[in-house]
Amino acid sequence: MSPQLILGQPLLHLLVATSTLFAGCALAIGTEREVIFTAKDIQAAVEKSPKSAKLLDGNVVVALQGLPTFKLGEPPHRVGVSANFTVQAMGARPVPVSFMGSANVVYSVSKKAFFIDAPLVDSIESSLIPKSMEAVASQAITRHLTNMFSATPVYTLRQTGNIKEQAIAASLKSIEIRKDEVVARFAM
């Protein structure tokens, strides 16, 4: 064998090994892991959550009647929320109120879980509530939903001791609320 071939083979092996390593790194860079959950997943989590029947907000008592319902992507990029409440001013009888609004989805790194957050009122409807009470009722209902949602994870990542899983859980890139699903992307 010629000296060129003997020296060429280790060099060739080194080049192949190096290019394979770089190709593997290039594939790892920019890859993502997706977590997908639906309105049904959110609904199931809320159904399992502890219920707070009433919330006293100043001079108003708010009670949730049944469970809120959720519709993803309505309005676009948000979670539509509807719920029925009774609102009672001090000394008055309870008045039924229908709530329509929307909220965001947020991720807690420390809890490795997603939550519904920052509900906004689109409308409250009741034929029995005085116009002067609508703003107070809206504020009390929003506070009630905020408290309920902040205590209820709607999707929780697996809790493994795997270092790779822990690193991924801390690297959220984006949350996209689509019409039928929430897609969370984590960097790898």
Task: Output the average pLDDT for the chain.
Answer: 80
Whether residue 94 is preceded by a cis peptide bond, meaning omega within 30 degrees of 0, is: no
Residue 105 and residue 61 share a domain:
yes
Residue 143 sits in a domain whose CATH number is 3.15.10.40
Residue 41 and residue 23 share a domain:
no
Which pLDDT score, from 0 to 100, does residue 161 have? 62
Confidence of residue 19 (pLDDT cuts 50, 70, 90): very low
SS3 148: helix
**What domain range is 23 assigned to?**
1-30
pLDDT digits (tens, 9 = 90+) for 34-44: 889 999 999 99
Domain contains 176: no
Confidence of residue 17 (pLDDT cuts 50, 70, 90): very low
Q: What is the H or E stretch that residue 153 is in?
A: strand 153-156
Residue 93 and residue 26 share a domain:
no
**What distance, in Å, lies between the first and last C-alpha atoms of the chain?**
46
Residue 106 has pLDDT above 50, yes or no: yes
Which residue intervals of the chain are DSSP H helices? 3-28, 39-48, 131-150, 163-169
pTM: 0.76
Buried b (16+ CB within 10 A) or exposed e, 47-58: eeeeeeeebebe
Residues across the chain: 188
User: How far from chain centre, in Å, is Cα 158?
Assistant: 15
